[in-house]
A and B are shown apart, each in its own frame.
Chain A
Amino acid sequence: MINFQYARADSVAEAVRLKAATPGAKFLAGGTNLVDLMKMDVERPVTLIDVSRLPLDRVEETPAGGLRVGALVRNTDLAYHPVVERRYPVLSRALLAGASQQLRNMASVGGNLLQRTRCAYFYDVATPCNKREPGSGCSALAGLNRMNAILGTSDDCIAVHPSDMCVALAVLEAKILATGPRGDRIIAFADFHRLPGDRPQQDNTLEADELVTGIELPLGGFEKHYTYLKIRDRLSYAFALVSVAVGLELEGGRIGQARFALGGVAHKPWRDAGAEAALSGQPATEASFAEAAALALRDAKGFGHNNFKIGLAHRAIIRALSQAARGTPQSQSDKKIA
């Protein structure tokens, strides 16, 4: 790890001021991703601005009936928050499917949004990686790409976003609250993370001088018909091969509103408006779910080692939609998949 200057911000305004005044600075919250990447020499900030003590650790109801969650709320505290457990259970389940309890005790909501890919070549500084070193090439394209993306890829990058929380937030259509020298900004969840295109070094649309201050969950969290199904190499404490978050509204056996998002398959949590629209008004049957899965994966493309993800994702979507429709969400402790 290279040496760095350390400064602790005591207010949001001070954090923003320090960031704007310090080229090469990074914010540090829980540290579960950034400290790891600094040890690996992937991240080399000249200054760390410790924002972990900012007063952004509250969960509050909004006048509109939603929930505002501070950027520094720990993953564990959000997962076990009684309002989240009751009204946004898909978020609670997704959080508990990620990492381990020790990491969830450290990791913040803001940091989870901003975590970087776990692509092996991004971590291996001896290999080319366009995300780590723009223009150097993508080693995963013809390399060991078993964990890599099948949707929304580019010739420059086939990395996936590793978060579980974000897959649920995509289904909930959360909003990202940010602030910076030009004031506060609200970013729709779908507009926050981006596809790699020819700028894979940019994971999201947050400006370099902006700070995430929180997220807002709108009213309507799919209390009855939801699931978070995560398929991975071992049953706990592993990143997703494929994950599916679902929120459904049923009207007498027929599907009203349908939302589903995929994790582990793209550079951002993956939703397909066409596939969701195709479910609306249909009976909640396996045939309807299979059609939606086929639509969502119509442009999926494997790169050799990860070809299996296309079939796996197809089956996972059908299974997850069935779980949500039945009202039997996937348990995160008993791992049998019903």
Chain B
Amino acid sequence: MIGNGGSDRPTHLETGAAGPISLAMMVNGARHALTLDPRSTLLDVLREHLNLTGTKKGCDQGQCGACTVLIDGRRVLSCLTLAVTKDGASVTTIEGLAKDGVLHPLQQAFIDHDAFQCGYCTPGQICSAAGLIAEGRAKTADEIRELMSGNICRCGAYPNIVAAIQQAMAQP
């Protein structure tokens, strides 16, 4: 079955075509119907098709974490996710964290603790930290550092990032 929004059309394999593929996904609560080249990564779809440029392209090969988003509530790398595989999924990006104009507690904590310098890794850091808190596995600073190791900060703001996450974790 091809990713075609749930209809029962034959697969492209059976029709012999290698063309664009139609699918739908929820992004930050809004449904988007998309027709995509199968090579499109979720990262490129967010940035180039949906104009959600908060999610950043760092290494584009799964080594830096700048492209971290939440899919169905779990943190993943959008640069290694082919969008066609996520037909029907629910995606949350940095743009979807604030509610009614109020910053997400992690966004506020990153400001409170000055947890960035250039800011390029920050959307990925915050989405990753949102996943971390939802997982509920990190209790100590060591565990935060270990479970945030997939997010590289070349400015070296790590101590402040850990402090910001601790502040957000402490909130009910």
Stretch from B11-19, B93-101, B102-110, B161-169 forming part of the interface with A: B11-19
Judge if B26 is at the interface, Cβ distance under 8 Å: no
With A6-B21, A8-B11, A52-B85 as given contacts, are A36 and B62 in contact (CB-CB < 8 Å)? Answer: yes
User: Are B13 and A31 in contact, CB atoms less than 8 angstroms apart?
Assistant: no
Contacting residues, chain B, for A52 (C-beta < 8 A)? 85
Is A100 at the interface (CB under 8 A from chain B)? yes
Chain A residues at the B interface, C-beta cutoff of 8 Å:
1, 3-10, 18, 22, 28, 31-32, 35-36, 39-40, 47-48, 50, 52, 76, 80, 99-103, 105-106, 235-237, 332-334
List chain A residues, Cβ under 8 A from B114. none
Question: Is A5 in contact with B81, judged by CB distance below 8 angstroms?
Answer: no
**Chain B residues, CB < 8 A from A32:** 62, 77, 80
Q: By the criterion CB–CB under 8 Å, are A3 and B11 in contact?
A: no
A residues near B132, Cβ cutoff 8 Å: 101
Residues of B within 8 A of A40 (CB): 61
B123 interfacial by beta-carbon distance below 8 Å: no
B132-154 to A contact mask, C-beta < 8 Å, 1/0: 10010100101101111111000
Which of A7, A22, A76, A102 has its CB near the most chain B CB atoms (within 10 A)? Answer: A102
A100 and B1 in contact, given A18-B13, A31-B82, A50-B85 (Cβ under 8 angstroms): no
Distance in angstroms between the alpha carbons of A28 and B140 in the assembled complex: 36
Interface assignment of B128: CB less than 8 Å from any CB of chain A: yes
Q: Assess the A237–B149 pair: CB atoms within 8 A.
A: yes
A28 touches B146 (CB 8 A): no
Which A residue sits closest to B21, measured CB to CB?
A: A6
Size class of the B contact interface (CB-based, 8 Å): 35 or more
Total A-B pairs, Cβ < 8 A:
111
Contact of B18 among A5, A8, A101 (CB under 8 A): A5
Of B13, B81, B84, B137, chain A has the most CB atoms within 10 Å of the CB of B13
B140, chain A: closest CB distance, angstroms: 7
B37, B65, B68, B137: the one within 8 Å of A80 (CB): B137
Query: Which of A18, A106, A333 is close to B142, meaning CB atoms less than 8 Å apart?
Result: A333
- 21 interchain pairs (CB within 8 A)? A1-B39, A4-B18, A4-B39, A6-B12, A6-B82, A10-B1, A22-B13, A28-B82, A31-B80, A31-B81, A31-B82, A35-B80, A39-B61, A52-B85, A101-B75, A101-B148, A102-B68, A103-B150, A106-B81, A236-B146, A237-B150
Could you tell me which residues of chain B, from 1 to 38, have a CB within 8 Å of some CB in chain A? Answer: 1-3, 11-14, 17-18, 21, 37-38
User: Most B CB atoms within 10 A — which of A8, A39, A50?
Assistant: A8
Interface contact B38-A48, CB-CB below 8 Å = yes
Contacts of A80 in B (CB 8 A): 137
Q: For B140, list chain A residues within 8 Å (CB).
A: 333
Q: Are B60 and A39 in contact (CB under 8 A)?
A: yes
- Cβ distance B110 to chain A, nearest Cβ, rounded Å: 18
Q: Do the beta carbons of B1 and A334 come within 8 Å of each other? A: no
- Which among A1, A48, A105, A236 is the interface contact of B75 at CB below 8 angstroms? A105
